Amino acid sequence: MEKKGYWDAHCHLHLFDCTAGDLNELGAHDETGFFLGGYAPDDFLHQEELKKNWPSFTWLTSVGLHPWWLQDLWDQQGQVNFEANLQQAMILLETYLPQANALGECGVDRARQSGLPLDLQLDLLRRQIDLAAEMKKPLVLHVVRAHSQVLKCLSGQKLPDPRGLVHAFNGSYEIGKAYIDKGFFLSIGPSVLKPGYQKLKQALSRLPWDRLLLETDSQLKGDAVSQGWGNHRPKYDASTRVRLRAVADVVGQLCDVEPARLLASSQQHLQDLLQAQDCDA
């Protein structure tokens, strides 16, 4: 029996120390399903912990090598140690992926200052795409200031079916249509709540609304999410939370669609995309 409520297409609750009160508060706002975004291979264990401890919610999981994690690994370890650590990370990724609903986050980020070469970021993305296609897992793409490079990369790869989603999409109509034409969904998050972002907002007025998903991303505003990435999990602060309904209200206005209809469509697509995947127990 499906749990009633709305599903968040991307968040990082597993990177925070959530209490029963925190999760009950989410349920009180009709948020009962959460697609957890992977950051490093070993954080998949935290995702499984949430699933085990809180079965009254729907938990959808992913495991991947986030471009930020790869950049930090390169900058902190250097090239020689990077290769050794990467090999171990790929082993963990292959180990955990059969149990997950999707592979991700993976992608390319050119906004952060890092010594990790762009060509290597693209090569690591290709390796993860190959693994996703082999294991028939949809992708969760993280792409910042690199859409043309990633779209070209996708064109040259065998892709999983179903394809997956582009998380936190902030691009233009033309870029969004290119991803949709390749079979991907666009996941829209808190950027629509902020001043500016006119390119995104104009795109949403033209893109097909039934290819959109709705997400809160970190569940936190600003840069606070970065505190959650590491071995130490900080306390979850519900007071700074972005509401999924708030995202739906703005996207609904831009698309001229009722927010409730958007939320229901996003949930159905997530269910079809992710719960249809066979996950090993």
pLDDT in tens, 10-64: 999 988 888 888 888 888 888 899 999 999 988 899 999 999 999 999 999 999 9
Helix, strand or coil, per DSSP, at residue 134: helix
Predicted pLDDT at 200: 98
Name the residue ranges covered by the structural domains of the chain.
6-275
pLDDT tens digits, residue range 122-166?
Answer: 999 999 999 999 999 999 999 999 999 999 999 999 999 999 999
| Residue 232 banded pLDDT, cuts 50, 70, 90 | low
User: In the predicted model, what is the mean pLDDT of the chain?
Assistant: 90
Give domain 6-275's CATH superfamily: Metal-dependent hydrolases (3.20.20.140)
Nearest to 60 by CA among 69, 72, 51, 68: 51
Cα–Cα nearest to 128, from 153, 145, 148 = 153
On whether the CB atoms of residues 139 and 102 are closer than 8 A, the answer is yes
Task: Give residue 220's pLDDT.
Answer: 41
Total-model pTM? 0.92
Q: Encoding tokens for residue 117?
A: 């070469």
User: Residue 223's pLDDT is what?
Assistant: 41
